[in-house]
Structure 1
Amino acid sequence: MTAPLPPPDDLARTVRRKVARRLLPLIFILYVVAYLDRANVGFAKDDMQRRLEFSESAFGWGFGVFFIGYLFLEIPGALLVEHWSARKWFARILITWGLCSMGMALVRTETQFYLARFLLGLAEAGFFPGVIVYLTHWFPRRDRARALAGLAFGVPLSLALGAAFSRELLRQDWLGLDGWQWVFLMEGAPAVLLGVLVPFVLPDRPRHARWLTPAERNWLENTLDAERLEIAREGATTLRQALRQPAVWLLALGIMATNTGGYALVFWLPTAVKGLLADAGRAAGSADVLRWVGAVYLFGVLGIYAAGQSSDRTGERKWHCVAGLALAGTFLALSTLPDVPWRATFALLCVAGFGAFFWIPPYWVLPTSVLTSSAAAVSIGFINMCANLAGLFGSAAVGEMKSAGLDDRACLLFLAACYGLGGGIISLIPIRRRAS
């Protein structure tokens, strides 16, 4: 006799928990490694600059050129996950971006720096859009926002861990290599190792998951198929139709302004902290600077947690975004006040770090709150493209400001203005009233 099937609610609960437990930890680790390899050049910047004599402008454009390469393959990467194989595509991405990140240790000229950053962006392109598509293969619609919110922790956590790890590596001179070279070699290697592992542990679809029973696979595939049919009955929205809606432009321009400051903050924060320490009469080497930087990012982890808890409990998204951005902009601006003791300046930076990440979880739920499901689906790619373009503009702008002789306080005021502008734009988004 076969055992009776569990009640539908129990089956659904079991499957959803099992999928989350099996997939999300690995995807989270991949996301942490991806963001670290994208941003670790900021940790190595001062030592690279001392050894290679790159200008501030060169670093600004080098940071930003990553996003030009990234944009080339962003959409094709998502399509390959949908129509080919997520595990094979992720393996390709991981191995090539790991090798490109490790190759940064060979850079000697500004041209090589630009090329290495461009290739890293090209190699990593398609990962985040691919993850979003991959989640649609496994998680019913009601579970996707929570899954994405969990991944958002990876951004500040990767930066906090990266600051601590890079701090130790910058002190090393193993095999005659400089510390900044070891930063790229040691932090790029995990991506290569994970790329070898992923094809063996990450199934493409529920039907390939041996850890699901036949009944569990059937329930999950039937649930996802029913959601796809529902979307098909609603009718698809084209990108042209979506771009006629003011909310799409407000979402895109809001995150573009915010990320202009946000990406520049990630890349230039160690330099800014070093300058602020010097102004306070506390000269510090690169390794010591990263101790303070890592603490700022730990407050970012707290910001993401607090935002997820608060916005999910209240169901409110827009004003959570605005509050986080206002906090980041205000406290970044306050951190530039002269003649303030370093510990007070550091406290202001920590509050700014809290706000700089607080807005992220509620923001990515906003498209489905202000647009129809079909319009949100087609608009997210456009919004994400604008978010990544900001990475080029922000870091290049700060590099040019530094080359023109402006100090770190002026650059921090520029970043504060970007956060303020982003919050102002997002505050204008009309919230769509759903029928009760």
Structure 2
Amino acid sequence: MSHNNGVVDPDRLARTTLRRVTWRLGLLLFLVYVLNYLDRTNISIAKLQMQPDIALSEAAFGLGAGLFFVGYVLFEVPSNIILYKVGARRWIARIMFSWGLVSMAMFVVHDEWTFYALRLLLGVAEAGLVPGVILYLTQWVPAVRRARLIGVFYLAVPVSTIIGAPLSSWLMGFTPWGLAGWQFMFLVEGFPCLIVAFVVLRFLTDSPSEATWLDDDQRGWLTAQLASEEEVNAAGGRQSGSFAAVVRDRGVLTMSLAFFAMIVPLYALAFFLPTIVKQMGSFSTGQIGWLTAIPYAVAALAMWLLARNSDRTGERTWHYVVPAVTGVLGLVLAALNLDGSPLLALTGFTFAAVGCISTLPVFWAHAPFLLGGAAAATGIAYITAIGNIGGFVSPYMVALIKGEGPGQGNSAVAVFVTAVFLAVAAGAIALVGRNIKARSQIEPSTAVVTDG
């Protein structure tokens, strides 16, 4: 650490500390979520082969895709409370190992009932991961840097599809041991989770005070910054961890509504974009995988830029609202061109991906300031639990609207409906923007400069 006449340069100390945290924890959690989101959504590619193989109707697929979120929501809050008590290292490793086993077990699906059961069980296994990581990062990163590090974590959403859609399409071309291609894909993509679970157990650190991989100056600076923020939360009376206190908080309720509304279009894209792309032209399975990856690649870039600029400026609300409105317009553009121009339709879906994916870090950057201390564990889990009900509603609703026919007319209606949900999310954040800003924004005069 650089010193001038024995005095530590605070800006340099902040930058080096947070950079080391990002490389050690951010990238590991990024890898965890890449595998998580891949195993959660790879059924969208598997569907291209699995649906005819087991005679699965469109409505049955939508219901099974959504049942994941039933198990996820039911165990979300208890899982986050356990993580708060036993520590992130052991609990996240347990979550990973469990979902890896269930994801691999998807290869035994042979009818709609085994599909329903394993999707429900996969949700139970994964429950608590995302709110647990968000809670964990609030215990490691001062607010001024939070959107950027949460952005590293959430980059996994588009990156998992950029990598996973072509990878899944490629793996489905193999049929070893008498397995169908989609069965082989589930086995291969679930297995790495078992390995990475042990990596998490080895390298994740529960708290900054235990971080022997930080210098003494870095560890001291980080713990002091986080302790100062906790004092601010305590002074604001936001430490009560009771469930009743959480559900009465207007900010938490509004954030829950916004998260629900943005999850609907997010998972509509995740579960149905490959099918819609297939209906847009005569594409091979491999081409569908690559075309599906395009919107997510643009969303990944937009996410990184938004998170950096939001941290730099200290502004959160409009960094959410403007991209979300852009996403609404993109969905409308896509819906109007499903039967016309595949290029314009894919362009619309790209703007939609920016609107409902790239905004995730900005959304979560201010959510922890609604509640502090133990209440943060309950509050963040509550927001994700309510929001992820949208994960159940989305695929089942879209499947029912689309119907069984090959035409794009009903698909266009489904896309229009998801646009309405994203508009609601933008409106909810805009309405409470001043309240959230007052709770969360750190004034530039007191913010630590961490650019670079």
Q: Same fold by TM-score, threshold 0.5 exceeded?
A: yes
Indicate how the Cα distance of structure 1 residues 111 and 30 shifts in structure 2: closer, same or farther if over 3 A, else same: same
Deviates more, 1:18-27 or 1:107-116: 18-27
Deviates more, 1:71-80 or 1:312-321: 312-321
SS at match of 1:392: helix
Indicate how the Cα distance of structure 1 residues 361 and 132 shifts in structure 2: closer, same or farther if over 3 A, else same: closer
Check the 8 A contact 1:77/1:129 in 2, yes or no: no
Residue-by-residue CA offset, 1:246-302 (whole Å, 9 max, x unaligned) = 44333222221221222122111111111122xxxxx22333211210112112112
Shift of the alpha carbon at 1:328?
1.8
Write the distance in 2 (CA, Å) between the matches of 1:214 and 1:333: 53
CA-based RMSD of the aligned residues comes to 2.8
1:151-166 counterparts in 2 under 5 A? Answer: 151-166=153-168
SS at match of 1:335: helix
Map of 1:280 onto structure 2: none
Supply the AA of the counterpart residue of 1:200. R
Deviates more, 1:244-253 or 1:102-111: 244-253
Supply the AA of the counterpart residue of 1:18. R
Write the distance in 2 (CA, Å) between the matches of 1:423 and 1:305: 20
Residue-by-residue CA offset, 1:41-77 (whole Å, 9 max, x unaligned) = 1111121002111011111111111111112322222
Write the distance in 2 (CA, Å) between the matches of 1:152 and 1:121: 19
Check the 8 A contact 1:258/1:418 in 2, yes or no: yes
Are 1:407 and 2:406 counterparts? no
Map of 2:450 onto structure 1: none
Deviates more, 1:47-56 or 1:299-308: 299-308
Are 1:330 and 2:333 counterparts? no
Check the 8 A contact 1:257/1:418 in 2, yes or no: yes
Map of 1:260 onto structure 2: 264
Map of 1:417 onto structure 2: 420
Write the distance in 1 (CA, Å) between the matches of 2:208 and 2:264: 38
Indicate how the Cα distance of structure 1 residues 317 and 212 shifts in structure 2: closer, same or farther if over 3 A, else same: closer
Check the 8 A contact 2:77/2:385 in 1, yes or no: no
Write the distance in 1 (CA, Å) between the matches of 2:143 and 2:335: 44
Check the 8 A contact 2:324/2:354 in 1, yes or no: no
| TM-score of the pair, normalised by structure 1 | 0.88
Check the 8 A contact 1:81/1:133 in 2, yes or no: no
Map of 2:448 onto structure 1: none
Map of 1:174 onto structure 2: 176
Check the 8 A contact 1:255/1:387 in 2, yes or no: yes
Gaps of 5+ in 1: 278-282
Gaps of 5+ in 2: 444-452
Check the 8 A contact 1:65/1:118 in 2, yes or no: yes
Are 1:305 and 2:321 counterparts? no
Write the distance in 2 (CA, Å) between the matches of 1:164 and 1:424: 35
Map of 1:138 onto structure 2: 140
Write the distance in 1 (CA, Å) between the matches of 2:46 and 2:390: 22
Write the distance in 2 (CA, Å) between the matches of 1:221 and 1:319: 30
Residue-by-residue CA offset, 1:395-426 (whole Å, 9 max, x unaligned) = 11112223375632222222222222322333
Supply the AA of the counterpart residue of 1:342. P
Indicate how the Cα distance of structure 1 residues 412 and 276 shifts in structure 2: closer, same or farther if over 3 A, else same: farther
SS at match of 1:364: helix
Write the distance in 2 (CA, Å) between the matches of 1:251 and 1:386: 9
Write the distance in 2 (CA, Å) between the matches of 1:330 and 1:157: 23
1:9-48 counterparts in 2 under 5 A? Answer: 9=10, 10-48=12-50
1:169-248 counterparts in 2 under 5 A? Answer: 169-235=171-237, 236-237=239-240, 239-248=243-252
Shift of the alpha carbon at 1:11?
4.5
Write the distance in 1 (CA, Å) between the matches of 2:149 and 2:41: 23
Residue-by-residue CA offset, 1:5-57 (whole Å, 9 max, x unaligned) = 76272555443332222221111111111111111111111210021110111
